[in-house]
């Protein structure tokens, strides 16, 4: 029974491991327990084969993630390994321990039942985690653009602001799509949605080309905010200029219509006089509306 328990624990544990160190520690512990439970050196050969297959199982789980997409794949390796280990145990040491084929079969059957129960539980947990992950993402991200939403912005910007005051700089840009209401009125709200999606995709693609790390948020209907952690405002301005140029060159195709857009931007950075995150956000917002008052399609820094 100790061998069955050992097999069950090692198989199920590999399913939930998330680090190489944990896998190595568990594999070594498995070898020690196997030797103690059998009291023979032949178990080393069984353990080596078992560890090799478990390593493949672990890589599949942690790196390829196919098992997370198809959780019933969890049952493949465990159900193969159990009979292999017990067959090897029977052939190598069954005579010493006086095990009959019936006893060995009983052990294999009990292991298989226990492993199936464990896998079914894993599938259930996997399903629950998927649901929780879906709800968590919906609570944090805007479903239309894929940007994070206002709730996420409030929490994360406060964190970035505290870090900026203590260690690094911080810049923030507020962006508004010019005359977005006119797009909705002239072409319809579905066209407006298409424009929002195209805007978001254009910004993300341009950011990838620039090779920068920043956080994008949809903070209103057609209003967006971008956080530049640890970045000075002059460098952030160059990136924002590129975004404006990319949006100018972009065409939104909606049916037979071709829609052109521009954006206005307000940009600022954290200052020693900023006591709260709200102060820097309000200043960026004021700069944004200064850009709109000056004729739109502009960038104001202050």
- Dump pLDDT digits (tens) for 170-183: 999 999 999 999 99
Residues making up the chain, counted from first to last? 302
Tokens of 112: 């298989």
Catalytic residue positions, numbered = 222
First and final C-alpha spacing in the chain: 73
- What confidence tier does 169 reach under pLDDT thresholds 50, 70, 90? confident
Between CA 103 and CA 100 the distance in angstroms is: 5
Q: What is the mean pLDDT of residues 173-201?
A: 95
pLDDT at 40 over 60: no
Asked which of 116-125, 140-149, 292-301 is least confident by mean pLDDT, the reply is 116-125
Asked which of 122-131, 157-166, 183-192, 249-258 is least confident by mean pLDDT, the reply is 122-131
Q: Domain extents for the chain?
A: 2-140, 150-301
Are 90 and 141 contacting, i.e. CB atoms less than 8 angstroms apart? no
Q: Given this model, what pLDDT does residue 165 score?
A: 77
Tokens of 79: 């159900």
Tokens of 279: 């102060």
Tokens of 278: 């709200």
pTM, entire model: 0.60
Higher pLDDT, 55 or 38: 55
Phi-psi region at 296: left, alpha or beta (left = phi > 0; alpha = psi -120 to 50): left
Between CA 142 and CA 225 the distance in angstroms is: 13
Topology (CATH) of 150-301: Alpha-Beta Plaits (3.30.70)
Tokens of 242: 């590129």
> Cα 261 from chain centroid?
32
- What confidence tier does 73 reach under pLDDT thresholds 50, 70, 90? low
H or E element in which residue 95 lies = helix 76-97
Q: Given this model, what pLDDT does residue 192 score?
A: 95
pLDDT at 226 over 90: yes
State pLDDT tens for residues 253-287. Answer: 998 899 999 999 999 999 888 889 999 999 999 99
Are 122 and 12 contacting, i.e. CB atoms less than 8 angstroms apart? yes
Between CA 295 and CA 301 the distance in angstroms is: 15
State pLDDT tens for residues 74-86. Answer: 566 556 666 666 6
Are 99 and 69 contacting, i.e. CB atoms less than 8 angstroms apart? no
Between CA 92 and CA 120 the distance in angstroms is: 32
Tokens of 82: 């159990």
Tokens of 153: 């912005």
Helix 189-210 with 180-187: angle, nearest 10 deg = 140
Higher pLDDT, 109 or 218: 218
Are 177 and 222 contacting, i.e. CB atoms less than 8 angstroms apart? yes
């Amino acid at each position: 029974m100790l061998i069955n328990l050992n097999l069950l624990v090692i198989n199920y544990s590999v399913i939930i491991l998330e680090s190489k160190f944990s896998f190595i520690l568990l594999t070594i512990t498995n070898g020690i327990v196997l030797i103690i439970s059998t009291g023979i050196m032949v178990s080393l050969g069984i353990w080596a084969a078992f560890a090799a297959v478990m390593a493949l199982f672990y890589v599949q789980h942690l790196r390829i993630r196919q098992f997370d997409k198809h959780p019933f794949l969890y049952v493949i390796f465990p159900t193969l390994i159990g009979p292999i280990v017990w067959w090897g145990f029977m052939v190598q040491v069954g005579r010493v321990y006086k095990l009959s084929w019936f006893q060995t079969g009983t052990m294999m059957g009990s292991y298989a039942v226990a492993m199936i129960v464990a896998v079914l539980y894993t599938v259930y947990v996997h399903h629950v985690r998927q649901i929780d992950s879906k709800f968590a993402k919906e609570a944090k991200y805007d479903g239309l653009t894929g940007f994070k939403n206002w709730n996420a912005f409030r929490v994360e910007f406060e964190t970035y602001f505290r870090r900026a005051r203590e260690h690094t700089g911080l810049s923030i840009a507020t962006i508004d799509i010019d005359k977005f209401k006119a797009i909705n009125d002239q072409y319809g709200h579905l066209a407006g949605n298409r424009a929002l999606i195209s805007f978001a995709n254009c910004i993300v693609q341009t950011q990838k080309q620039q090779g920068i790390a920043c956080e994008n948020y949809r903070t209103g209907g057609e209003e967006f905010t971008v956080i530049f952690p640890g970045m000075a405002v002059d460098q952030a301005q160059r990136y924002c200029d590129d975004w404006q140029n990319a949006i100018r060159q972009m065409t939104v195709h909606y049916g037979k219509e071709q829609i052109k857009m521009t954006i206005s931007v307000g940009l600022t950075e954290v200052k020693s006089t900023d006591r709260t995150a709200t102060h820097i956000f309000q200043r960026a917002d004021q700069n944004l509306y200064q850009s709109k008052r000056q004729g739109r399609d502009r960038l104001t820094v202050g």
